[in-house]
Structure 1
């Protein structure tokens, strides 16, 4: 084990290096809204709670939350997506600005409705969620605009994150252009998607399926316990089906299991935390993993860092992100618990 002071120094140097990186995030952006209040009675018309709303909170969601995590960890970010010419789109741009993310690469269209997820929380319990916005594939006009900006931005970034919630931004043609650009100008690409097989030709550096996405692709039955043990024999198959070099399967309370071509599987463990109404922990994981891989640190340590960042956000309600200082604290806590060592070999100074 490296001495704690050395560990902190190495991690500080790594995070300082992230300030020199630029990451392109492309995908489905969402406005995450929370209406928070109290309830002490039922409605007369139906047996449902009456919630007295006391506060509204808006956050960047989806690909926008990935971008917010990248920015919070110190790197520069290009966010490429489509939003509507509507109040929700304006509000999303405002919360992005509050996170120091420029909206200059968001395509604003009258034919598109901004994606929104509205949650009602009463007495610290999620009561209901309302989803609305455009979920069909982009029109040919919007698709071409997106591809044009993708061609411009791809050479200017050090890494790419694809955040595909299957809401229509990442069309087959957009994915084809991503594959072409990656073949011409290879760089670290991490993918978080509900349609894993669609990206096989992209030659991804890493994919981040959750447990349910992984077993769906592998055609396995759902298990409540011992999910890592269930997934472990299928690591090579998962890499083959997705064309990725690394597959990090997130397992919620069980942590994550990471497969890499030619390497033994690596298991990371999650810290036990109180149950919170948390959204976007997977966005934090892939943002941190990508920055670590773009800095050329070993995959197993990139996974540990991503797990440490996720441990920060799952302790907070709402759609949250991990800061560089919080990551340092969380990693040092995990390091002291698990007797992990840390190295930044390969990081370009």
Structure 2
């Protein structure tokens, strides 16, 4: 058996990887403010038992249910895992999904900025996972329970004040907009203004945006993180190779 030749990095790739690792290490103890739509990601797992006689569908024997933070909550957990200190601002309900979502935050995530409304249901995305006893489970269906938000002007003003107090003393901001109406263009502009107003800071504060439906309304920010389908819909293009992106 012949030994495989060593894999050589493309020109410049090593420098980019080194810089990437430096940026990750630089997150340690950085205070990051995450603002946006907190979602309960629910996973219901079951083992395939048989096919139903009522319809051509699988019958699953229930295994477990897990709820983890999704949306802005997932972004907060990811940064905290890399060593950042997170202040998260969002909206959840006083329900079981909300409680379990908060319980799923990683150490380093401060959830005191979450507003808990008694009559609000925490947005929940339920994924049904099916598989055999000794095989990996796969998602077979997803059920979304996303309530419509009817937030008045007084709520938005109060929420904005809380956010801006935190932004004045942070090292970075993440806006996570899944279209609920919580992250408005007015709030985004206020955050950007507050960041730019910190003239005594030697380095600019990065403000990152992840918006599911309204990305083009966010202007002047450091970076955005659309996926391929979102880019195609926004720019009316078909991304089939790297040349299109250039």
Aligned to 2:207: 189
Structure with the higher strand share, 1 or 2: 2
Structure 1 Cα separation of the partners of residues 28 and 233 of structure 2 = 37
Q: Alpha carbons of 1:11 and 1:193: their partners in 2 closer, same or farther (altered >3 Å)?
A: closer
Q: 1:100, CA displacement in angstroms? A: 4.2
SS at match of 2:112: coil
Unaligned runs of 5+ in 2: 1-8, 10-15, 132-136, 199-203
Contact (CA 8 Å) 1:137, 1:169: kept in 2 or not?
Answer: no
Is the 8 Å Cα contact of residues 26 and 81 (structure 1) preserved in structure 2? yes
Please show how residues 1-349 of structure 1 align to structure 2 within 5 Å: 15-96=24-105, 98-123=106-131, 124-136=137-149, 138-185=151-198, 187-194=205-212, 195-200=214-219, 203-220=220-237, 222=238, 225-226=240-241, 228-232=242-246
Q: Which is higher, the Rg of structure 1 or of structure 2?
A: 2
- In structure 2, what is the Cα distance between the partners aligned to 1:11 and 1:173? 32
TM-score normalised per structure 2: 0.81
Deviation at 1:95, TM superposition (A): 0.8
Q: What is the number of equivalent residue pairs in this alignment?
A: 221
Specify whether residues 107 and 43 from structure 1 end up closer, same or farther in structure 2 by C-alpha distance, changes over 3 A only.
same
Deviation, structure 1 residue 16 = 4.8
Structure 1 CA distance for aligned equivalents of residues 205 and 189 of structure 2: 16
Query: 1:138·1:171 contact (CA, 8 Å) conserved in 2?
Result: no
Contact map agreement 1:83 1:106 (CA 8 A) in 2: yes
Contact persistence 1:162–1:191 (CA under 8 A): yes
Equivalents in 2 of 1:55, 1:117: separation in Å? 16
Alignment CA distance shift 1:10-1:206 (3 Å)? closer
Spell out, residue by residue over 1:11-56, the C-alpha distance to the aligned partner (whole angstroms, 9 max, x if none). Answer: 8876554223111111111111111111131223322211112122
Give, in whole Å, the separation in 1 of the partners of 2:197 and 2:119. 33
Counterparts of 1:148 and 1:99 in 2: how far apart (Å)?
25
- Shift, 1:163, TM fit: 0.9
* TM-score between the two structures when normalised by the length of structure 1: 0.58
1:102 CA displacement: 2.3
Structure 1: runs of 5 or more not aligned: 2-6, 233-349
RMSD between aligned residues:
2.5
Residue of structure 1 in register with 2:5 after alignment: none
Off by >6 Å, runs of 4+ in structure 1: 7-13
